[in-house]
Amino acid sequence: MTDDLPDLRIGPENAEILSSIGRDERIAEGRAARGSVKRSAHERLPDRPQNFDVVEFVERANADRVPSLVPIRRHRMATSPFMFFRGTAGLMAFDLAETPVSGFTVQLSGDAHCGNFGAFATPERNLIFDVRDFDETLPGPWEWDVKRLAASLVLASRSIEGGGDDARQAVRSAVGVYRESMTAFASMSTLDTWYARVDVRDILAAAGPKTLRKKRRTYVEGVGRRTILKAFDDMTELDAEGRRRFVDEVPIVYHVRSDEDKFFDVRELFEAYRESLAPDVKSLFARYRLVDWVVKVVGVGSVGTRCAAALFLADEDDALILQMKEAGPSVLEQFHPSSEYASHGMRVVAGQRTMQAASDLFLGYASEGGRDYYIRQLRDMKGVPDLEDMGDAQLSEFARFCGRTLAGAHARSGKAAQIAGYLGSSDTFDRALVAFADAYADRVEEDHRAFTEAIESGRLESREA
């Protein structure tokens, strides 16, 4: 029997392989990459092709969306440059495709703007802070996520009328902590890196003015109140026949009429979803029965994709509410190898589980009617800080936690030592990202003006929800 086993002895050739992947060698590999791509080169923002029509480019993303919801998406994107930025991950990917990269690939969020970081409960009901959006996740250059985060912080600062120095400080905070955290991850064991997380208690304990500590606690307490039970009370009611149903809030939440596109066969969808769950969760899920579902419009970039919510009951007041979100091709697939997974729902779930320190117990995926979906709990102790309610000091502090969190998410891909070696201990990369983020925010504001002008001229239809 043993003759069939591979030879695991450390011969000369295997010893060479093992020695080549030591931590010091990986750090040196990262440091050597500076010879090809200087850290200061990351401040460069390449020009777009002549006659580039930003409105036409952005509108391509609406081609396969629900037509009746597209005007709502445009309205949300038009409200501010930051909201426009949130809805145009594909546009930034197009711009980033011409920027320099060091050559180290990690699992990317693909849309790591600062609005996509927040607190949520682990299956053990502990609150952690982490990346929370993976619609565009795909392996790619770590710099892409960092640059999207940096640009978003400048736009967020401008949206609260922060000064240029305030915006630059927020970027320095995020990128500096990302660099320092990556250095720390490079010295940790593989398992310690995988287990690392940002506990909300660490955020509450962070130093800072009394007013900031109070805002932190208010935010955390608010997340703790956003439970399934609260969603059940807020979103459902008993109908005239005594059946529990979602409350319609047209056009954001609504039941589909018999003559409308139902998107999918909901029972077929959940049969397929059940098979994606671990055996213990599958057994838990079997205790609930589906009683109602509605279309539910969410976010900015997701508006117009096929998103819904489903109500399950184990008893009359024992609820589970799941959110179904359509998963299409990542915007990054135009510039990087396509997903290796059989469906985009599987791609999103795998990317989320790779990057997050802990994921939703009910996270799963399904395909139905030729489309892919991923599924998770709705509003179960999940929350994003209100960026518009932040002052400059709070935004800078928030940026630090975003930088630490993104470093941890990237380090889980196993390239912490190379990235740490490349970044080094100086602030050269930090300063380059400050310049890049400021220039990119200027470009977004120009793009936003072109977009709003297209709406005002009647070229595009926009409608408030």
pLDDT surpassing 50 at residue 8: no
pLDDT band at 9; cut points 50, 70, 90: very low
Does one domain contain both 74 and 194?
yes
The verdict on residue 99 lying in a domain is yes
229 or 422: which leads in pLDDT: 422
Does one domain contain both 446 and 315?
no
How much of the chain, in percent, has pLDDT values that exceed 90? 73
The verdict on residue 367 lying in a domain is yes
Q: What is the residue range of 299's domain?
A: 228-377
Does one domain contain both 248 and 162?
no
What is the pTM for the complete model shown?
A: 0.91
Does one domain contain both 207 and 313?
no
Q: pLDDT of 444-459, one tens digit each?
A: 999 999 999 999 999 9
pLDDT score, position 425:
97
The alpha helices in 126-278, defined as continuous H runs, are 142-159, 164-186, 190-195, 200-205, 210-225, 228-235, 266-274
The verdict on residue 7 lying in a domain is no
CB-facing half-sphere around the CA of 19: CA atoms within 13 A: 7
Tokens of 149: 């985060």
User: CA 273, CA 276: separation in Å to the nearest integer?
Assistant: 5
Of 122-131, 266-275, 428-437, least confident by mean pLDDT is 122-131
Cα dihedral 403/409/412/415 (nearest 10): -50
User: CA 233, CA 245: separation in Å to the nearest integer?
Assistant: 11
> To 10 degrees, what angle do helices 23-32 and 164-186 make?
140
User: CA 445, CA 441: separation in Å to the nearest integer?
Assistant: 6
Does one domain contain both 139 and 241?
no
pLDDT band at 142; cut points 50, 70, 90: very high
Does one domain contain both 212 and 253?
no
390 or 164: which leads in pLDDT: 164
- Could you say which of 311, 345, 377 is where a domain stops? 377
Block residue for tokens 């609005």: 115
224 or 177: which leads in pLDDT: 177
Residue 384: count of CB within 10 angstroms of its CB? 16
Query: How many distinct structural domains can be found in the chain?
Result: 2
Does one domain contain both 127 and 68?
yes
* φ and ψ at residue 237, rounded to 5 degrees: -155, 170
Q: pLDDT of 84-117, one tens digit each?
A: 999 999 999 999 999 999 999 999 999 999 999 9
Instruction: Tell me the CA distances in angstroms from 457 to 69, 80, 175, 461, one per residue in order.
Output: 20, 18, 40, 10
Tokens of 348: 């999103």
Contacts of 75 (CB under 8 A, 6+ apart): 462, 463, 464, 465
- Could you say which of 377, 405, 431 is where a domain stops? 377
The verdict on residue 312 lying in a domain is yes
User: CA 190, CA 199: separation in Å to the nearest integer?
Assistant: 19
Tokens of 321: 């509410």
The verdict on residue 3 lying in a domain is no
pLDDT score, position 37:
98
Does one domain contain both 121 and 264?
no
What is the arithmetic mean of pLDDT over 382-394?
74
Does one domain contain both 339 and 211?
no
What is the arithmetic mean of pLDDT over 384-390?
73
Helix (H) or strand (E) holding 107: strand 105-108
- Could you say which of 377, 407, 429 is where a domain stops? 377
pLDDT score, position 362:
96
Does one domain contain both 56 and 186?
yes
pLDDT surpassing 90 at residue 263: no
Average pLDDT, the chain: 89
Q: pLDDT of 197-211, one tens digit each?
A: 988 877 766 655 555
The verdict on residue 462 lying in a domain is no
The verdict on residue 171 lying in a domain is yes
81 or 119: which leads in pLDDT: 81
Does one domain contain both 193 and 240?
no
Contact 167, 153 (CB under 8 A): yes
Does one domain contain both 44 and 191?
yes
| Cis previous bond, 251, omega within 30 | yes
The verdict on residue 362 lying in a domain is yes
* φ and ψ at residue 373, rounded to 5 degrees: -140, 155
- Looking at the DSSP bridge assignments, the partners of residue 117 are 131
Q: Which amino acid, residue 49?
A: P
| Strand intervals (E) in 297-417 | 307-315, 318-326, 364-368, 371-377, 382-383
pLDDT surpassing 60 at residue 5: no
Tokens of 7: 């030879």
